[in-house]
Amino acid sequence: MKVAILVGSLRKAAYSKLLANNLAEMLPKDVEPVFVDISKLPFYNQDFDDEGEIPKEVQDFREEMKDMDAVLFVTPEYNRSVPGVLKNAIDVGSRPKASSVWAGLPAAVVSQSPGNLSGFGANHHLRQSLVSLNMPTLQQPEAYIANTAALFDDDGKIANEGTAAFLQTFVDEFVAWIKRHQ
């Protein structure tokens, strides 16, 4: 089973990337995490599809996503919403509508913030898009991770045992969710 991991931040030292790396390590051995690079996708333009001039990066992304069994979104919050790079990837994969790479794929959302709000707005805005894309999305447990600036040790591992235990429960529930929706 392959789980695409889409990270909503492009920054090299992004907390979302650190968190995604930790989540990937929590997956069972029979689940392959695949970090899908969304950094090179051009802004979606329907002319690509209408005129049959689809950029290679878009073609490659769509093909890679067709090979996935589920999607884990790990995102920060930008201005109480989803970062543009992540929303663009969603739009690129959703077109043409009849060929959406997202339709039916089980999904889960983890949001994070270095502050106390834990990416609540981004998490819920992203979930709105996933409903439109017909992605069955894990509802419980919800994963809003606050204070990520202090969450990791020097090796990028989650230093708080309670948070690590919660995230392992989240991952276990997500894997069960995927199996129920295959």
Amino acid 61: pLDDT: 98
> Would you call 6 exposed, middle or buried from its count of C-beta atoms within 10 A (0-12, 13-18, 19+)?
buried
Q: And the tokens for 178?
A: 């995927």
Q: And the tokens for 104?
A: 């039916």
The 10s digit of each residue's pLDDT in 104-158 is 999 999 999 998 888 999 999 999 999 999 999 999 999 999 999 999 999 999 9
pLDDT band for position 8 (cuts 50, 70, 90): very high
Amino acid 178: pLDDT: 98
Using CA atoms, how far apart are residues 60 and 103, in angstroms rounded to an integer?
18
- My answer on whether omega of the bond before 96 falls inside 30° of 0, hence cis, is yes
pTM of the model: 0.97
Domain ranges, ordered by start, for the chain: 2-180
pLDDT band for position 16 (cuts 50, 70, 90): very high
Structural fold of domain 2-180: Rossmann fold (3.40.50)
